């Protein structure tokens, strides 16, 4: 059980990529890409977790800072990552919309403009 969270993270990365490979719709593929990215959040946060520790926030003025908290750096990375993913997803969706407009389809099997 000590590696279950890590295995789930790997699973998310690969299943998301699988979703893109089998996708019939580019918008669906972009959705799958965000599943793959969720794998990286889970991996990061699992790496930073510590049994019995608290969140790295010393909420009230009374609470004294202690080192018995989970790793804040992985949380900062995951936070950065969440924002990056949202904006890049927006960009990719914008491109999908334009593909739909220009090709009349968003099925990658029917797009044949870039062969050879």
Partner 1 sequence: MNLLIIAALTLVAIAAVVVVFTDDPARQAVTLSVFGLLLAILFMVLQAPDVALSQIAVGTAVVPLMIMLAVRKVRGRQ
Partner 2 sequence: MPTFDHGAADIPALAITIPILVACLLVAFGRRIPRPVVDSVALAAALTVLGLLAALLASSSHGRVVSWTARWVPEHGYSVGIVLVADPVGAGVAVLAAALVALALLYSWHYLSSVSGHFHALMLLFLAGMVGFALTGDLFNMFVFFELMGASAYALTGMKIEDPTAVQGALNFGIINSLGAYVSLSGVALLYARVGNLSLPQLSAALAGHRPDALLIAGFVAVSTGFLVKGALAPFHFWLADAHAVAPAPVCVLFSGVMVPLGLYGALRVYWIVFARVFPHGEIRRAFLVLGVLTALVGAVMCFGQRHFKRLLAYSTIAHVGLFVVAAGLLSASGTAGALLYIAGHAGVKAALFLLGGVMLDRYGGVDEVELWGRGRDARVIPWLFVAGGIALAGLPPFGTGLGKAVSEEAGSHAGYGWFPVLFVAVSAITGGAVLRATGRVYFGLGADPRSRAHGSETSGSHERSDVDQPLRRVPLTMLVPIVGLLLGALAVGVLPGAHTAAEYAAGYFLDSGGYTAQALGSAGHVLHQTPLPNWTGLGVGLGLLSAALALAIAAVALYPPKLRVGERTTRVARAPIIALHRIHSGHVGDYVAWMFVGIAALSALVALPLQR
Partner 3 sequence: MTRGLRLLLFAGGAAATVVLLVFGVLGLPHFGSSFHPYRDHAVPAAVSHKTANVVSSINFDLRGLDTFGEETILLASVVGAAVLLRPAEDEDEKRPLSGGRILDSTRLVGYLLLPVTLLIGLDTVLHGALTPGGGFQGGVVLGTGIHLLYVAGSYQALERARPEDLFEYGEALGTGAFACVGIAGLLAGAGFLGNLLPQGAFGSLLSSGSVLLLSAAVGVEVASGVVVLLARFLDQALRVGKDTPR
- Our finding on whether 103 is near partner 3 (CB under 8 A) is yes
Q: Residue 58: name its binding partner from partner 2, partner 1, partner 3, none (Cβ under 5 to 8 Å by kind).
A: partner 3
Binding mask 18-47 for partner 3 (x = CB under 8 A): x--xx--------------------x--xx
Q: Helix 72-103 to helix 26-48 angle, to the nearest 10 degrees?
A: 180
Taking CB under 8 A as the criterion, which residues in 16-35 touch partner 2? 17, 20-23, 26, 29-30, 33
Q: What are the φ/ψ torsions at residue 46 (nearest 5 degrees)? A: -65, -40
88: left (phi over 0), alpha (psi -120 to 50) or beta: alpha
C-alpha–C-alpha distance, residues 23 and 7, integer Å? 24
CB of 92 to partner 2, least distance (A): 5
- Our finding on whether 79 is near partner 1 (CB under 8 A) is yes
- Our finding on whether 111 is near partner 1 (CB under 8 A) is no
């Amino acid at each position: 059980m000590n590696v279950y969270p890590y295995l789930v993270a790997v699973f998310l990365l690969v299943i998301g990529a699988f979703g893109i490979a089998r996708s019939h719709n580019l918008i669906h593929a972009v959705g799958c890409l965000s599943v793959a990215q969720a794998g990286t959040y889970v991996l990061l946060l699992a790496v930073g977790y510590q049994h019995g520790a608290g969140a790295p926030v010393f909420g009230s003025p009374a609470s004294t800072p202690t080192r018995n908290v989970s790793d804040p750096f992985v949380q900062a990375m995951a936070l950065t990552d969440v924002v990056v993913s949202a904006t890049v997803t927006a960009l990719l969706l914008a491109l999908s919309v334009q593909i739909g407009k220009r090709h009349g389809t968003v099925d990658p099997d029917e797009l044949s403009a870039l062969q050879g």
